[in-house]
Amino acid sequence: MHLDTSLTEHPLSIPPKPVLLRNHILAKTYGTAHTDNNMGESQALTMSLNTSPLQAPVIFLLDSKVVLLQVFLYFHPQSQTIRHHLLKHMHTTSIHHYSELSQALQQHWPDPTSRPAQATYSDQIPISVQTQFEDLLTTLAQQIGNNTIATLNQDSATTPEETQDSTYTNSTIGLRIGHHLFLHIHSHQLTNFGRIRTKTIDGVQVKITPRPNLALALANTWADRAASRMAQTLLEALPHFLLADISHPPMQTLQYIFQHRA
């Protein structure tokens, strides 16, 4: 996205441009279950974390609230509320992908309970860009609504269990960690060509406003369309890219049990 104070338009009103596209083909099944959207979103976030530098401003867009909950759980391992929400939606075969996601988060934030005070901007990031990004996040919070983005306290070392349980509510759709934002966004809000969808009300064509704004909806559309087109092309040209069924990795299961249930 454009983060330049010399621009006459707000960054959220300018269409984003794709710079790097990465594609990963999942196996047809993991363990006893077929691959689902949550597995794909978890793998995509893992790849994004492994690609994005910690000292640069980043917005991670997720169209899976289960994966957003997994991020919350990493930073709030004692929260029974988050566990309760996850148990409703996540089956056991997603544990493998959650373990990989936890490892990617751990590379950026080795100690999830200490809070990310170390997540500072790189010296190569201009002050003007930092200011513009803070303004962007403020505008985004206003568009989404109050109390929808949770912010980790970067000063306290350990958060009590009752505070961890009060962090996430049903209206929460984002988690901010310094200059990083994990945001849930609904997919397929725009057409395949990135245009605003319409619906007919009483014989009149009415535009469906994308949420939270057109810029982020376009960014999400870029990812959806690129993944779809690349996957179709690869599978038609190279059938051996189709992965066989993968049994549930036992070490990942043990890791999850020791880290989150022991």
**Beta strands at 29-30 and 33-34: parallel, antiparallel or unpaired:** antiparallel
**Residue 95 belongs to some domain of the structure:** yes
**Residue 7 belongs to some domain of the structure:** no
**Residue 224 belongs to some domain of the structure:** yes
> Helix/strand/coil (H, E, C) string of 137-178?
HHHHHHHHCCCCEEECCCCCCCCCHHHHHCCCCCCCCEEEEC
Structural domain harbouring 158 = 25-188+197-251
Proportion of the chain above pLDDT 90, given as a percent = 7
In angstroms, the CA 228 to CA 222 distance is 10
Residue 57 near residue 3 (C-beta atoms within 8 A):
yes
- Candidates 252, 257, 246, 251; CA nearest to 35 is 246
pLDDT tens, position by position, 207-218: 887 888 888 888
Judged by phi (left if over 0) then psi (alpha if -120 to 50, else beta), residue 142 lies in alpha
Residue 82 near residue 69 (C-beta atoms within 8 A):
yes
Task: Note down pLDDT in tens along the chain; length 262 residues.
Answer: 666 656 677 777 778 888 888 877 777 776 666 777 888 888 899 999 998 888 888 999 998 888 999 999 888 888 888 888 887 776 655 677 788 898 899 888 887 776 655 567 888 888 888 888 888 888 888 888 877 888 876 554 445 554 666 677 888 899 988 888 999 998 888 887 778 888 888 888 888 878 888 888 888 888 888 777 776 776 666 555 556 666 655 444 454 455 554 4
pTM score over 0.95: no
Helix (H) or strand (E) holding 80: helix 80-89
**Residue 13 belongs to some domain of the structure:** no
86, 101, 157 from 68: Cα distances, Å:
10, 11, 23
Number of folded domains that form the chain = 1
pLDDT tens, position by position, 60-82: 999 888 899 999 988 888 888 88
**Residue 171 belongs to some domain of the structure:** yes
Q: Residue 32 has which token pair? A: 């006893």
- Widest CA span of the chain, in angstroms? 60
123, 170, 183 from 140: Cα distances, Å:
25, 19, 10
**Residue 33 belongs to some domain of the structure:** yes
**Residue 147 belongs to some domain of the structure:** yes
In angstroms, the CA 260 to CA 135 distance is 37
Residue 7 sits at φ, ψ, to 5 deg, of: -70, 145
**Residue 241 belongs to some domain of the structure:** yes
